[in-house]
Structure 1
């Protein structure tokens, strides 16, 4: 076991995959010589060379188009989009080609491709650098969407994504890249894609979230524990496929549900979770489902982003409202 940041865990995972499987390649803007904008891929080009660590032009559509061609011809590419807000340029390749190839080829072809991208707010980044766009891709059949919140999960989920026979969008929270260290096994291991993690057992309220808000929610759970309120905290980890069974089981016990995510509220993943709970566990609920999210606007300027993001005050208001609902 070694104490690692998320950046270190992801770097080690890519290195292990490259060592194990000669068909794995890495491509993206500045991933080679510079080691990526966040140095996630630092040092890999020195070990594996330019044939496997490929610096690309600043052209997201070309990155994904090239990676897609590689994937249906026997390679296992890991393609990096430098910031998630830049991924719009590759939407056609991802939604029309990568995600559909198994379906439209009747199983003749598949795309074992991982698309990595940093996302999320709270780092004072300029426009188009902090967007959380997971809902766009959860609406894309054929594509798996993974969003870890810590170094241990990042390693296990990324290795599972690389080994998967179908395309995976692997989203990495910028705010958590170097926020803390935790013990991570040095050996390879996988975490099943599509399985949520229950981080805290509780009886009074279920809170479901993923990515950066998880760190704040862990603190909130402890604050409310001192007040005698028991919160069950679920880290979804995977957006598609969605582990609704874990949420249903929890809500059946706690009878209350709060959903927290950074992305805008309307048509977000939280809305899908709320709809599924309404379908499967509505008679277990004793209060309306509450969503605490980003607002329905473009990501704001840095001076107000802490108010735009789910924060301690907004989440606490939701908890207080749902626990006292009559």
Structure 2
């Protein structure tokens, strides 16, 4: 999506707004919401993991496949089950992000509306995995996510009125464009070197532990950032309360960029790359509630 198209839509909305009847209702809105599995990293965290660029060997030094930069939580749980808790895992699952939103909304005639908003999203839970062997933590990984989005909308609204003709609520559907700036990152430890050392190499031949990274990844940290534009739409309902409206809505964003990062350790260079690149996105469904104050 080109920046020129985004600017054109914004100019159109502002032009429509300033050309409207001064008595049309305008609203200042603020709200909160949730985004489940931001950047679609949940499958990597829970069931897939991620292969390393480094190979693994068994206790005899024979090639045994690729090591793992990130070991899936279901495999770590299976390891705990097989060993009766000698290997222990604490699973955080996929990330969940919280969103704060604010914006300005106005009516265009009786059946149309426009909106310009601001959304800030950050991780509030999940994305933390730890595994230990008899109390020694050899795997400790934390994922994070943040984004800022400026969406604009235009679309129809349908008001509900009481017997006296007063608006008591309504539903609305809007489409538009957005600009975003987002980042996700991962940091922590995957120390196969130490694990294999304290077990005298036995863990090189065990399922899951043979995936542990050697040379050990210790306190490495990489962040991927991107910005751009995309499409969006919103479907919502609102109900009159005091001088404004309570609202519930689902906001959907569609956009994707490529983020460039930099690993901090030589082990990270062999695991990913000195300068890895991965997708960064704000895409998804944002489930939101809040209040619109009539101005």
In the superposition, the TM-score normalised over structure 2's length comes to 0.23
Name the structure where helix makes up a greater proportion of residues. 1
In the superposition, the TM-score normalised over structure 1's length comes to 0.21
Flag the structure with more relative contact order, 1 or 2, with Cα contacts below 8 A and sequence separation at least 6: 2
Q: Which has the larger radius of gyration?
A: 2
